[in-house]
Structure 1
């Protein structure tokens, strides 16, 4: 059992305690991550390797409720189920961090998680749900957790189109379906006071962004609406998005509110920026400041 006395100090929002959970690093093609934005532009902000891949975080969020006693985990990274070939393709690196190790560092065991909140079910967001045991059989890491998935997204994940199919891996999706602990939620679902979700449909149908707030501070989990600080400018949209024009339409009002109300945006995939704020000037959006969770405590 983890030593809870040595756990890091959380950021408190209302009756919610927030911890950053780093689950590893991986790499994706830089061109795919920035769509129509040419390499001559995105490479000024993000370095790439000889294969044109950029370093990506899989940064998750742990939320403890002092009101209900619930322990929520938002997304859980790529997991460790890839074979050697896939590990090389994505350059998975658990030396930097790893899901269970990061949970233990804040005094939490996988069995303590009561609620697994998925923004969506692409492999880099839900791969850590299960792992292989010593017999090569799939086992659930979070055996006491309810799995929360947006209802419209669940249909997408279980009836994928040809383009998105490669992101919905059966070894990730099937165990969730068969667990008996799947809870399909509607858009704008409220988990409890100060914690609800915002639906976004450009990247994939039914993506849900956790939104945490009190009278003093608001943090929104950027997921794949804003995966990295370089995606703040409106036209900087991923090639992975199913509906890029819809992403564009969703980003503008989101960023207007974020800039106007000084929201903190928690970045899931930015290897170097954990939480940012944004500026708006003459219709253009830019990153303002960058913080770690510890700096906000």
Structure 2
């Protein structure tokens, strides 16, 4: 396993690879026909596409804080769930990735959750040898938008399967949960863009320095194949709202040459986009090392 790192203003950035998994290709692309999306990503015999869970660690030189954005699916799945989602830790794993960059779970001061679907927050806790849930990051404050927290603890029937009790319960019980508003500023140069189409209150962390911006796109833009505006996931709770938010986001990303950090793209880590005859296309691909 080899992860990337970069310096971005007062921030040191580290790619944290937490594992691979698979999701249904049709669900990942909604109403887009397979004949179109399969040109960019290949499905297996069960129509599942390969995805990764690529998180981002941010060390602030200004404050000394060490932020981790999301933490993957974790290790709490039983054999049945692991098989369904084809969870693979053979080459990528949360603790190993942290160690590769010289960090331990105890070092993390803040965890910024984009949202609390199981593939974004499962690594927060683990089962010990007695089957008891333990917190992986004992010194971290957990940051979730208030709007999303209210959704996670009382989800609708369609979204309920994404919020697992073993993930949400320990957050409800801890005193280290910090509910943030909209907009969010964690410190100078580190903010979040909040969007509500995929799930209410999803936050996309944004790092700014010297006129350049890096945005952690989470599930607004899960892969580079999702760049076309109408290519919206079937998993989105409010797809029409996603369309509006995505257009505004993509316009800014193209106008301001944002670097877009892709959480789920197994092929590309960071992309930039441009307009092409009122549409969008990838103009550049790179890794954190090349930022």
Give the TM-score, by structure 1 length. Answer: 0.96
Q: Deviations over 1:180-232 (max 9, x none)?
A: 10000001110001000001000000000000011142100000000000111
1:59-208 matches, within 5 Å, as: 59-208=54-203
Given that residues 118 and 167 in structure 2 are in contact (C-alpha distance below 8 angstroms), is that contact kept between their aligned partners in structure 1? Answer: yes
1:18 to 13, 22, 38: 13
Hey, what's the Cα distance between the residues in 2 that align with 1:8 and 1:29?
27
Given that residues 3 and 16 in structure 2 are in contact (C-alpha distance below 8 angstroms), is that contact kept between their aligned partners in structure 1? Answer: no
Shift of 1:9: 7.5
Partner of 2:279: 284
Hey, what's the Cα distance between the residues in 1 that align with 2:172 and 2:62?
29
Other structure's SS at 2:191 match: strand
Hey, what's the Cα distance between the residues in 2 that align with 1:192 and 1:11?
19
Other structure's SS at 2:147 match: helix
Q: Deviations over 1:127-148 (max 9, x none)?
A: 0000110111110000000000
Partner of 1:227: 222
Quick check: 1:259 aligned with 2:269?
no
Quick check: 1:56 aligned with 2:51?
yes
Quick check: 1:238 aligned with 2:248?
no
Hey, what's the Cα distance between the residues in 2 that align with 1:194 and 1:53?
38
Partner of 1:27: 22
Shift of 1:10: 3.5
Other structure's SS at 2:51 match: strand
Hey, what's the Cα distance between the residues in 2 that align with 1:109 and 1:163?
36
1:209-228 matches, within 5 Å, as: 209-228=204-223
Hey, what's the Cα distance between the residues in 2 that align with 1:95 and 1:196?
33
Hey, what's the Cα distance between the residues in 2 that align with 1:162 and 1:185?
25
Other structure's SS at 1:119 match: coil
Q: Per the alignment, do residues 8 and 88 of structure 1 end up closer, same or farther by CA in structure 2, a change over 3 Å counting?
A: closer
Hey, what's the Cα distance between the residues in 2 that align with 1:127 and 1:193?
29
Partner of 1:295: 290
Which runs of no fewer than 5 residues in structure 2 stay unpaired?
Answer: none
Moved over 2 A (4+): 7-10
Output the aligned Cα RMSD: 1.1
Hey, what's the Cα distance between the residues in 2 that align with 1:225 and 1:170?
24
Given that residues 72 and 123 in structure 2 are in contact (C-alpha distance below 8 angstroms), is that contact kept between their aligned partners in structure 1? Answer: yes
Q: Per the alignment, do residues 8 and 50 of structure 1 end up closer, same or farther by CA in structure 2, a change over 3 Å counting?
A: closer
Shift of 1:264: 0.3
